[in-house]
Structure 1
């Protein structure tokens, strides 16, 4: 089976790894001159870890992450450092924090040489698997290529999504943006991580395996806000917040502090596939990062698609006979039935979580904090577990 993947992000690359190992002939088209990954970390919970295991990537992933993060105090703190909610260590479940650059490298190394074509603009022109591809040095000229399956992994601003859904689904700005960074040196966290909340602002802390720290800072602002100095702006916004927030920002090179407008999809998609075109990751279900599930859900997509297409690939079939076409359609339908309800539910919960934690009113924020403090920690843990519980489908 000849498969095209549009987009070399985590979702696209992990899907390519799984399908290539299962026997498909895979080509990944990436419009950028090189895959982009660095500058931030990623929380991978039990569901993402299970997906990586399904894809055969556990060993490489374990080599760059550390289970010690599971022993850190986690939950929500106030700006002065007082805890308002803590999740019991034995209820956190599996968790790893990975530098996105490391995960990207693992995925690229797992692919056959020449699988990823950078600087290649690929556009779906028909749901039968036909692509228009403009390659580097082609001076604007494009060629038409046909694939047995096209996987749209082209992110929040996916053009493949329009072909599948039938209409353009615009991104929806959340009302807040996030700075992300990784310290250049180890910083002592005294065994405490998690998130600190204020009025329309939040700060998150997550330790990496080598002692460096991934952090993020969130603030309400217009989508088109402009700051002359991003690092200085973060430092000013979080002046006076508890230790070691100032140290984390100071330990991050200014050029590595990047801000992203946080958006999700303006509506739920009615479908994730049409004919021989299927969506994964942000192209299908872009969500805000408030539950730390964007990467995990993309990995689940990759593992699910790999498992469901496995029987067809194992027989070396391209899906072109009537019987094969029916089997391919059945696999894609099952993928959609498994992935659409779960991802859309998580996206909705994540958006609601962001609205709650970005409250600016001191009165409403105080009420929020009081309610969170009153919720039993075991209930918080059980809610988290309901999102993080996942296993690959049976075939």
Structure 2
């Protein structure tokens, strides 16, 4: 089955599903509200499930070539002590690949480069859809109307299309945490691990090293929603001034204007379906989750591969979207619940006794526990795209 599709949203999930649909014979237009597809953002870690999805979408090799494997790292305390370590080589033996780190802009650029330029419609936004004509969807834009057999809503955590399709749904909720992140201006010397996460009361600081030696850092903090700083970098220096090396060096290697700050919002109330008629929801529009497992983008990439495979295998769009919903909704919503729980037991803990019990449990756990925890979500087999 082939046809015409419109993808609302030109982020990682939207570009990925466009690649998948084209591989199974569909004509695709990606509609992105930004006037320019700028290469911005911080960093991203991709687990085996995300890389496997990229493989079937045709860009896995290019992404691996641009990324840095994460073989060494783990979880620490603010004084530098280790709570747990991750054996990236053991993970690679189990899954065929380690976790990799890549600037989000580089991943976006690689996905975009694999699509013909004429697929991308920038400076336009899909805010509504007309479903009155049987067998078609009509998407009004400022300069006309797009007719399609399929609409993919990949328009993010604040999806307007999700609101239109599910008006009674409460939408995204604030998680209680806010995140500041940046990529260092230059390589940072003598970083001893490929990545690390440090947990303190109500706070987390982590970093990922990229192939060019620069590093992405993130600081996740318990906070009221909407709190902002006049000088975010200075605020982070004050907040983490007593934490272990290399945290101060990472902050010192960062330009003040490079710091991004976002409140973390998630779909606490699960959607009843990822498909309505000829409309599929994908990525954050379908299952926005907290970043505590590093699975948000990976789940969007899974969505893209599964949706393309369903449309290739099923005789109708409606049956394909039923298959997509059946395969994707239970898994992605389970991962979202696990991410939420990981945050509550990790960065969000503030009570000293609870923190002490958690830290003791992590220190006493066998060395393979961390690998098994990652395998629980990363060991996913992608469908084949014909």
TM band (smaller chain): over 0.9
How far apart in 1 are the matches of 2:100 and 2:209? 9
Q: Comparing 219-228 with 36-45, which one deviates more in the overlay?
A: 36-45
Cα gap change, 1:122 to 1:252, in 2 (>3 Å): same
Q: Comparing 27-36 with 257-266, which one deviates more in the overlay?
A: 27-36
Q: Show the counterpart of 1:159.
A: 160
Q: Show the counterpart of 2:105.
A: 101
CA contact (8 A) 1:169 1:266 kept: no
CA contact (8 A) 2:150 2:317 kept: no
Mark the runs of 5 or more structure 2 residues left unpaired by the alignment.
Answer: 93-97
Please state how far the C-alpha of 1:379 moved relative to its aligned partner: 2.3
How far apart in 2 are the matches of 1:394 and 1:189? 39
Q: Show the counterpart of 2:330.
A: 341
Map 1:243-254 to 2 at 5 A.
243-254=245-256
Mark the runs of 5 or more structure 1 residues left unpaired by the alignment.
Answer: 136-142, 313-323
How far apart in 1 are the matches of 2:114 and 2:159? 25
Q: Show the counterpart of 1:139.
A: none
- What SS does the aligned partner of 1:87 have? strand
Q: List per-residue Cα deviations over 1:330-381 (Å, max 9, x = no partner).
A: 2111111111001000000101111111112222222221122222231232
- What SS does the aligned partner of 2:13 have? helix
CA contact (8 A) 2:68 2:209 kept: no
The answer to whether residue 179 in structure 2 is matched with residue 178 in structure 1 is yes
Aligned residues: CA RMSD: 1.6
Please state how far the C-alpha of 1:125 moved relative to its aligned partner: 2.4
How far apart in 2 are the matches of 1:13 and 1:46? 19
CA contact (8 A) 1:30 1:118 kept: yes
Relative to the length of structure 2, the TM-score reads 0.92
How far apart in 2 are the matches of 1:228 and 1:9? 28
Q: Show the counterpart of 2:95.
A: none
Q: Show the counterpart of 2:76.
A: 77
The answer to whether residue 217 in structure 2 is matched with residue 199 in structure 1 is no
- What SS does the aligned partner of 1:84 have? strand
The answer to whether residue 361 in structure 2 is matched with residue 371 in structure 1 is yes
Q: List per-residue Cα deviations over 1:28-84 (Å, max 9, x = no partner).
A: 1111112355230000010011000000102221221133x22x1x22100011101
CA contact (8 A) 2:56 2:384 kept: no
Relative to the length of structure 1, the TM-score reads 0.90
CA contact (8 A) 2:13 2:283 kept: yes
Q: Comparing 47-56 with 362-371, which one deviates more in the overlay?
A: 362-371
Q: Show the counterpart of 1:134.
A: 142
Q: Show the counterpart of 1:299.
A: 301
Cα gap change, 1:28 to 1:64, in 2 (>3 Å): same
Q: 2:127 aligns with which of 119, 123, 127?
A: 123
How far apart in 2 are the matches of 1:123 and 1:230? 33
